[in-house]
Amino acid sequence: MEKIAASIMCGNQLALGQELLDLQVAGIDWLHCDVMDGVYVNNLAMAPYVLEPIIQIKKFTTDIHLACVDPEKYIEMFAPVQPDYLTFHIETTEEPEALLKKIHGKGIKAGIAINPVTPIEKIFPYLDSLELILVMTVNPGFAGQRFQWPVLEKLERLNSQLDGKKVRPLIEVDGNINAETTASISKIGANLYVVGTSALFNDQAGTYKEKVSQLKQHFVTR
């Protein structure tokens, strides 16, 4: 399964209702929802009251990505809006297993995000305890950064580690995902491609449906 997930933070915040309708028409059924605290990353986004109505329409599978220090605090804050997935950064905690259990205790699927410079092996002890792995291909915080190509080697090691598992967590990639990077990632293996300003929410000609179709042409058939 390979799907496009729209980074709703990058959409037109003055017309989110229309954006959601246009994304549905484009065939997108996953939303990536960035939450930033201004501490772990030098940016702010998105509050529970913003995400709650988006989640409540139940038209999308939603993943809330907590780019925050003190992830336990934010798990408690965002669990009531009941996203499908809550994802925290491995770099922000010394007790990943406890956070995974806390998320599962809220009736939500759990994910771990990992930054480009962090060795992928750091999450290997938790592969049987989570449902999603978010591999950042840029440093979290801002859209439009340069894709970090060495991350592809991490994806190869991750897929090798997952080979043979009866139940595999989803692999999500986020950061300057466009036609070129999608093609390279798909050859290695991923499930979810987070797209934002690089390939979807931009001023380039074409509808969302056309842009999504162009990206999907670069998926490798398995």
Active site residues: 34, 174
Which of 168, 186, 188, 167 shows the shortest CA–CA distance to 178? 186
Instruction: Give 35-75 pLDDT, tens digit per residue.
Output: 999 999 999 999 999 999 999 999 999 999 999 999 999 99
- pLDDT reported for residue 204: 85
Mean pLDDT of 81-89: 98
* 198, pLDDT greater than 90: no
Q: Which residues contact 52 (CB under 8 A, 6 or more apart)?
A: 81
CATH of domain 3-216: 3.20.20.70
- Residue-range domain boundaries for the chain: 3-216
- Return the pLDDT at 178: 93
pLDDT value of residue 1: 85
Give 112-128 pLDDT, tens digit per residue: 999 999 999 999 999 99
Q: For the CA atoms of the chain, what is the radius of gyration?
A: 16
Look at residues 213, 174, 208 and name the one whose alpha carbon lies nearest to residue 194: 174
pTM given for the model? 0.96
**pLDDT (0 to 100) of residue 90:** 98
pLDDT digits (tens, 9 = 90+) for 14-42: 999 999 999 999 999 999 999 999 999 99
